[in-house]
Chain A
């Protein structure tokens, strides 16, 4: 029997609202604390995972509001089959 994948169903319970220009959609938001620079600095490292079709044209450097907080997008990277992408966020 063929397994029919529905990633939108998986994301339904864990997403927050994101707004890019006039587009509103749902994204997965992660914000782990990471350590860098030879272990000298730690900081929150926010990122979003989203369906590319939900945010057409969203690209690096553009403003996006995630769950009410304003960010600028870092370079998006397509995941697996290219239906979804993940992008880091930085404060404006």
Chain B
């Protein structure tokens, strides 16, 4: 049984790969980078969970939780931020297009998605490389003493 946070990041990867984005191949969307990628593989998108604050008991019997989701586009080229831009825009649009008719997000897993800070970094190697990381804060609900998806 997965935690709701794990389900949400898996769903994010699904949203970014099915159907494949036009700007980046589905095989180039990674869940958690455990090791440095060789620059030959760029551009890629990496999806990972971030930190999670203490939960709030808004409703008796449940807890509302907020976890960071980080989506990073890695690209290379003469102007690597420009090379990253198409995948950045398409990834962002895919995530915010995941809202269903009941107002929930990511296949009903998240109650809300807030856009957080965007971080940019670059480095000069034989080719210039850059990362653009967008942070989202996902709000979700679990039973009071559970980490799994809450189902009323």
Contacts and interface: CB of A to CB of B under 8 A. Distances in A.
Contact of B129 (A39, A41, A74, A89): A41
Interface string B116-131: 0000011111111111
A40 B72 contact: yes
Interface residues of A, number: 18
Nearest to B123: A36
Interface residues of B, number: 20
B33 interface: yes
A38 B37 contact: no
> Is chain A's interface secondary structure helix, strand, loop, or mixed overall?
strand
Contacts of B36: 35, 39-42
Interface of A: 34-46, 74, 88-91
16 contacts: A35-B36, A36-B125, A36-B129, A37-B121, A37-B129, A40-B36, A40-B37, A40-B74, A40-B131, A41-B36, A41-B42, A41-B74, A42-B36, A43-B125, A44-B125, A90-B126
Given A40-B33, A40-B46, A46-B126, 20 more contacts: A36-B125, A37-B74, A37-B122, A37-B130, A37-B131, A38-B131, A39-B36, A40-B37, A41-B37, A41-B38, A41-B74, A43-B38, A43-B125, A43-B127, A43-B129, A44-B126, A45-B125, A90-B125, A90-B127, A91-B126
